[in-house]
Amino acid sequence: MKYLRQPKLLLLTVFSFLTVTLFAQEVTITGTVTNKENGQPLEGVSVRVKNSTTGTTTNNLGKFTIKAPSSESILTFSYVGFGIFERKAGATGAITIDLERKEDRMEEVVVIGYGTKKRVNVQGSVATIKAADIEDLPVANIQSALINRLPGVGVNFSSGKPGSTTTLNIRNSTTFPGAPTGVTNQPLIVIDGIIANPTQWAQAPNADWMENIDASQIEDITFLKDASAAIYGAAGAKGVVLITTKKGKAGKPKISYSGYFGVSTEAVKTKTLTAYEHAQFLNDGFELNARPLTERFSQADLDSLKGIPDRSWYDYFWKNGKVQRHTINVSGGTDKVTLFAGGSYYNETGNFGITQNNKYSFRTGMNATIVDGLSAQVNFASDFNRERSNNWKNASSETDDATIRAMYLTPKWIPVEINGLPVGFGGNAAPNNQTGNPWSMLGVHNAGTYRDAKSQGLSVNASLEWKPKFVKGLSARVQYGNNNRTNNALGYYPTYLVYLFQPRGQNGLLLSDQLAATPTRRVTSQSDQIEEGITTSKNYQFITQLAYGRKFGEHDVDVMVAFDQGEAESKNYLLSKTGQIVAGVDEFWAFSNDPSTLGSIQDALRNPQFFKSSKRSYLSRANYSFKNRYFFEFIGRADASVNFLPTRRWGFFPTVGLGWKISDENFFRDVMFVNSLKLRANLGIVGEDRVGNRLWESRFTQTTGVVIGNSVTGGLDPNVYPNPDITWEKARSLNVGIDATVWDNKINFTADFYHRYNYDGFDTYSTNVFPPTAGIPPPVVNYGQAISWGSEFSVGYRTRFGKDWGFNADVNFGWSNSQLLQSFYNEALLGTYGPDQIGIAIGRDPRRYNGTNTGYIAKGILRTQADVDAILSKNPNYLIGGAKPQVGFMDFEDINGDGQINDLDITTMYDKTSPAASFGITLGATYKEFKLQMNMNLRIGGKVAYDSEARKVPTTTQNAPAFWANHWTPTNPNGKYPRADAPLARENSTFWLVDGTQSRINNAVLSYQMPKRIAAKLRIPDLRVMVTGTNLFTLINPFKYKDPYTSNFANYPTLRTISLGVNASL
């Protein structure tokens, strides 16, 4: 019996061994991951073996292959916006996984500076946008695509011209009225952890780091809007923009192409008076003032003008611009090494002359696991930007306003050319009142005029991170970044030839086709000069960082300490010479060697603008949470800057944040429609040191000196009055916020309420305090004070209807206000209003006390003699702008009751001019493979004013908007606008302010995703085509004569761009 049991035991042992071996045997799993909603394959899904480093991602067809240690191994499938799915590997074979969409904003990982965190652990006001949401738009830079996308983030355009600068502003950050040159209201820009604009003097070239980075190379952009920016201490007062670029993903190499071609034209075109209307307007004024017939247009002249085409110089030169963009990205790698490389090309041709903008960018990054626990990351980026045009401007400017103004305002009875010759016209529409004609400058009779601006940058960013196994949760990291940029702008403005023709007509304002006795004239543009501006800037940043994060039961602890040191420097030269002596040569030697001019060049070379700063920082952040329900955060940063005296060099910037996830409380769990609800608040101090460097030291410029006897002795002139007490500008920031998701995460809601007190603001002594007889500019001091407060709201909704339809909507809106409390700037005029006064109110509400809302209270137009007699019967000495009232004049409220309408009657016109509410709205819909996304803005209420250029009446040398045709005359007593010579009619008044409600569709994208089966037949696994547009339609326009989003009707217009594009991946 004993022996019988032994074979059984042996058999059982062998069976058990075989079973264990079978279960331990490695298995290979292949499969497909799809979207449960529509059955479409999902690309980029992370597939990992749980508790191991083995992993892969799905390809463009949603397919994957992975090896697991055994069939009992757990596979984890995760994808952004979808729930995490786990299952046993099972036996070798093919499987299908359906992932269900589950968007929980609280679980999103956001960049917060020196690290990342889940949104639930963030206690400040942080806004994030994925680059994928905006990269299809046909815009020159990512800033332009952000308009109205995020609450509290403003986008400012310098011009509609190709290549013009676009800047960001967070929560209406401003500088003080007397702020010295260079102090910025722009946020700090950080790219992959390295600051791009560390000093204010480098901000202009460093703006190009954001201008030139292509959206296809960006993963996401995060904005720190409150005291959470204290992690950047002395540079976070104006907010922080954190840009995270794309990284490589494990898997076989994936090549992606995106490109589009488009056409751009003006979004809204201003219509000006026809030649006949212009002449008739002048005649109306001449007749009212009994001017001689020799100054008027005869009836024959008027009849001849009726036959002139309604075509301005603007119409003559305008052409549709063209835009194109092409990007190629490559991503791939193994579990140990991943690589991303991307290149882009952007080209935009302008609407006049040879204006065009070219951009090239290249970016590459590598992530590598050197040994288990030790990883390295290396990023390299370069870009080149060139903007060229041949319009009136200078090397330090990028606008074309002088050229556009000449085109808009030249009377239409003056032709651009007669018999193929450019007509010289001496009206004040030409720059400097010279006899000009853009035709010669814009290439037909080419004078060689041009402005050629180039910008090129190079950056390196490398880091090393160690996560030792023997201390779980500990990590150590070092990072080094270096940015270099060179900007060069060359302007060449030689003289050019125009032709003069014999006058014709009763008043001699019209031209015949006969040349004048002196038929030609040389016209100087920009003083017949050549000039070149050169700026070089560079900065480095070195960071060492130690972090520890662990979960102990219901307690979650995360601590980070770091050391950060950086240096930045910038040099700027501006060279100029006038008086060309060798025609057609754009070299400095070809211009006059006048001693004074030569001296200025030598001075520029001897005394370039040179700025250098450095900063050393110690910083820490500590986060604690209990039950993932109660949150505490502390941020502290100590900064030292050489911009300040050693004894005042250090500043400390702390922030404390608290959070409470109410939805996890037992008493709240019965509220079933609320998925998550969190309250948060933070209070802290942020600073600003981006001001002129070393203002605590005396500085001098070299001069030719003074004459002593018969010789000139060189010398030094002081150009900075030192202030040893200069220190950080500071802001105390309080933010209270709510984050919520409801109804199965279909609706998300965020609200922020903030208050900010700015103090020790960089300000400059006024001449009332610091006399100009000192012979030196007044010093910069810490004096300015201001407060600002407001609220921001954003609401998002996403849902699906059946299998084919989907809809999403995002709305952001807010309200804000501010008050200037203290400033040195022209203090004697502060709080006063009138001509040539700055109109800044101390301690008053700027929604009411502002330049737009300061003027006369208009009572209307005196349309009949009875209206005039009614006024004079009460006061025979009544005057309007020093003139006795006449029919067609405007009448105003006599505020002080002295019987005269003058500066003393200027007052605030309305309770406020700001809108009641402003909204940014993004709408989207999907149907099967079709997708439509649209962004628009809506401003409700408030007041906006006709621009000052439009309010100018037509003259013999200058045209005006077409609305002036409906002016008061004896035969048109009900005309909407006053007579030509009405005094004070063009000044600010309630007559020119209109309801500010306005709305525009900013951009839209309609795309079609090629079905996978069709794309596969084309051997392009992922293919999408799209039609896009920007500045599409102005739905509500308070002005009938111009685009409401341009400040002046005669400026370069806002452009509407329509493009056709394609995205493809292999």
User: Rounded distance, CA 854 to CA 832, Å?
Assistant: 10
Please give the span between the terminal C-alpha atoms of the chain, in angstroms, as a whole number.
Answer: 71
pLDDT at 432: 38
User: Rounded distance, CA 544 to CA 257, Å?
Assistant: 37
Say how many residues make up the chain: 1066
Average pLDDT in the 130-151 region?
Answer: 86
Residue 786 in tokens: 């201001």
Least confident of 10-14, 658-662, 725-729, 771-775: 10-14
- How buried is 1042 (Cβ within 10 angstroms: 0-12 exposed, 13-18 middle, 19+ buried)? buried
CATH number of residue 78's parent domain: 2.60.40.1120
pLDDT at 57: 85
- Cα 625 to its chain centre, rounded Å, is 36
pLDDT at 20: 44
Residue 1035 has pLDDT above 70, yes or no: yes
> With bands split at pLDDT 50, 70 and 90, how would you rate the model's confidence at 520?
confident
Could you tell me whether strands 337-349 and 356-371 are parallel, antiparallel, or unpaired per DSSP bridges? antiparallel
In a domain, 653, yes or no: no
pLDDT at 101: 74
pLDDT at 439: 62
pLDDT at 173: 78
In a domain, 1041, yes or no: no
In a domain, 940, yes or no: no
Residue 318, sorted as left (phi over 0), alpha (psi -120 to 50) or beta, turns out to be beta
Least confident of 98-107, 253-262, 454-463: 98-107
Give the start-end residues of each E strand in 210-299.
Answer: 218-224, 240-245, 251-266
> With bands split at pLDDT 50, 70 and 90, how would you rate the model's confidence at 23?
very low
> With bands split at pLDDT 50, 70 and 90, how would you rate the model's confidence at 204?
very low
> With bands split at pLDDT 50, 70 and 90, how would you rate the model's confidence at 228?
confident
Of the candidates 399, 368, 514, 390, the residue with the CA atom closest to the CA atom of residue 451 = 390
Residue 937 in tokens: 């803005």
User: Rounded distance, CA 672 to CA 603, Å?
Assistant: 74
SS3 285: helix
Residue 163 has pLDDT above 80, yes or no: no
pLDDT, tens only, 274-285: 999 999 999 999
User: Rounded distance, CA 934 to CA 944, Å?
Assistant: 26
Tally of structural domains, the chain: 1
pLDDT at 157: 76
Residue 1016 has pLDDT above 90, yes or no: no
Average pLDDT in the 857-876 region?
Answer: 95
Q: What are phi and psi of 754, to 5 degrees?
A: -135, 155
Residue 200 has pLDDT above 60, yes or no: no
User: Rounded distance, CA 769 to CA 827, Å?
Assistant: 9
User: Rounded distance, CA 277 to CA 291, Å?
Assistant: 19
Of the candidates 558, 661, 557, 635, the residue with the CA atom closest to the CA atom of residue 107 = 661
In a domain, 117, yes or no: no
User: Rounded distance, CA 749 to CA 675, Å?
Assistant: 11
**Using N-to-C axis directions, what is the helix angle for 275-288 and 299-306, rounded to 10°?**
160
In a domain, 511, yes or no: no
Residue 647 has pLDDT above 90, yes or no: no
pLDDT, tens only, 283-301: 999 999 999 999 999 999 9
pLDDT at 713: 66
User: Rounded distance, CA 470 to CA 275, Å?
Assistant: 86
Residue 402 has pLDDT above 80, yes or no: no
pLDDT at 145: 87
pLDDT at 59: 83
Least confident of 140-149, 343-352, 707-716: 707-716
pLDDT at 182: 58
pLDDT, tens only, 429-448: 443 334 566 665 554 455 67
pLDDT at 771: 64
pLDDT at 939: 93
pLDDT at 704: 63
What is each CA distance from 449 to 347, 388, 438, 440, 575, in whole angstroms? 21, 11, 10, 9, 17
Could you tell me whether strands 126-130 and 63-68 are parallel, antiparallel, or unpaired per DSSP bridges? unpaired
User: Rounded distance, CA 933 to CA 928, Å?
Assistant: 14
Least confident of 223-237, 428-442, 885-899: 428-442
| Pair 912, 850: CB distance under 8 Å | no
Winning range, highest mean pLDDT, from 411-415, 444-448, 717-721: 411-415
Question: Hey, how many other C-beta atoms are within 10 angstroms of the C-beta on 126?
Answer: 24
| % the chain with pLDDT above 90 | 43
pLDDT at 1: 44
Least confident of 272-286, 663-677, 845-859, 1036-1050: 845-859
pLDDT, tens only, 637-646: 999 988 888 8
Q: Give a three-class secondary structure readout of 688-749.
A: ECCCCCCCCCCEEEEEEEEEECCEEEEEEEEEECCCCCCCCEEEEEEEEEEEEEECCCCEEE
pLDDT at 2: 45
Of the candidates 483, 317, 278, the residue with the CA atom closest to the CA atom of residue 407 = 317
Residue 18 has pLDDT above 90, yes or no: no
Residue 508 in tokens: 């001699």
In a domain, 894, yes or no: no
Mean pLDDT score across all residues of the chain: 84
Which residue is listed with tokens 């998300």? 748
pLDDT at 850: 66
* Residues whose CB is less than 8 angstroms from the CB of residue 677 and which lie 6 or more positions away in sequence, other chains included: 661, 662, 663, 668, 738, 739, 740
In a domain, 59, yes or no: yes
Winning range, highest mean pLDDT, from 429-438, 851-860, 1054-1063: 1054-1063
pLDDT at 608: 62
> With bands split at pLDDT 50, 70 and 90, how would you rate the model's confidence at 915?
confident
pLDDT at 211: 78
pLDDT, tens only, 928-967: 999 999 999 999 998 999 999 999 999 998 999 999 999 9
In a domain, 650, yes or no: no
- How buried is 14 (Cβ within 10 angstroms: 0-12 exposed, 13-18 middle, 19+ buried)? exposed
| Pair 858, 986: CB distance under 8 Å | no
For residue 90, what are the domain limits? Answer: 20-102
Average pLDDT in the 1003-1016 region?
Answer: 87
Average pLDDT in the 999-1023 region?
Answer: 87
Residue 663 has pLDDT above 60, yes or no: yes
SS3 294: helix
DSSP string, 99-166: EPB---GGG-EEE-SSSEEEGGG--S-EEEEEGGGTTTS--SSHHHHTTTTSTTEEEEES-SSTT--E
pLDDT, tens only, 166-199: 788 888 777 776 566 557 778 888 999 998 877 6
SS3 968: coil
pLDDT, tens only, 793-847: 999 999 988 888 999 999 999 888 888 787 765 444 444 444 333 344 555 666 6
Average pLDDT in the 502-527 region?
Answer: 82
pLDDT at 835: 37
pLDDT, tens only, 32-43: 998 877 777 888
| % the chain with pLDDT above 70 | 85
Written as one letter, the residue type at 564 is D
